[in-house]
Amino acid sequence: MTRVDNRGFTLLELLISMTILSLITLLVFGAFRIGIRAWERGEKNIDGHQRERIVLDLIRRQLASIPVDTVKEEKAFLLKGDNKSLGFVSNIHLVPSNKFGTVYVKYRVEETEDVGEVLSLSERNVVMMMGKDPGVDDSDDLFIELLRGAGMVFDYLKNDTDEEPRQWQETWDPEVETGFPVAVRITLTRADGGAPICVIARIGADAG
């Protein structure tokens, strides 16, 4: 007669099997979690890059819509800026409360301890500012944060003269310079180490 072996698994065999199964489960869920985190980072980077490009395009459009001929009559409202701030009059407003007329726009880039540089925007209706110096009131309550963590620099293209050709400079002071720069260059450096974005906005160009 044939003898049938009815022995089951030993305790040691069960422990080894459960250990191997646990390791496989950990590896699978670990890989899944890494994939989810990578996807979330990718989505965050895409959203951040899209916001950066939108903000740069809005700045370009506002600069392009400067009413050059009108503003020349009001010297206080001429474009003025350095590599970390920029003020000018524009026909395009971004703040919903400015529903009519031209606005005085002020952009500023400030260094913070926790997130690096922060780009903020202030807009005031020109009609309400007549007789006032636009550079006097820089209260934090007037500024809206647009970007954080990305570095930004402004440069100004001076028109060529008989003495020197066109060249970029770090400041534009209407007390020293004549009229407006030919263009403003905005250079954005990403916090994640990605390639910088450079936008050149021509003054008085078509903003469409």
Domain extent for 85: 47-202
pTM above 0.85, yes or no: no
Task: Give the pLDDT confidence score for residue 132 in this predicted structure.
Answer: 63
Q: Are 158 and 177 in contact (CB under 8 A)?
A: yes
Question: Does 28 fall in a domain?
Answer: no
Q: For residue 51, how far is the Cα from the chain centroid? A: 7
What confidence score (pLDDT) does residue 126 get?
80
Does residue 2 fall inside a structural domain? no
155 domain residue, yes or no: yes
Contacts of 176 (CB under 8 A, 6+ apart): none
Question: What are 171's two structure tokens?
Answer: 């400041």
Query: Looking at the domain assignment, is residue 14 inside a domain?
Result: no
What is the Cα–Cα distance from 110 to 85, expressed in whole angstroms? 9
How many domains are there within the chain? 1
pLDDT at 4: 52
Burial class (CB in 10 A: 0-12, 13-18, 19+), 21: exposed
Strand partners, 122: 106
Establish if 12 belongs to a structural domain: no
Closest C-alpha to 156, from 42, 79, 59: 79
Q: What angle do CA 158, 154, 90 make, to 5 degrees?
A: 80
Question: Is residue 83 one of the residues assigned to a domain?
Answer: yes
The pLDDT of residue 201: 93
Is 6 within a domain? no
Q: Which residues contact 201 (CB under 8 A, 6 or more apart)?
A: 59, 60, 63, 64, 183, 184, 185, 186
Q: Is residue 39 part of a domain?
A: no
Blockwise average pLDDT, block size 10, the chain, 208 residues: 59 82 83 71 66 90 88 77 93 78 90 85 80 61 84 90 78 88 92 82 69
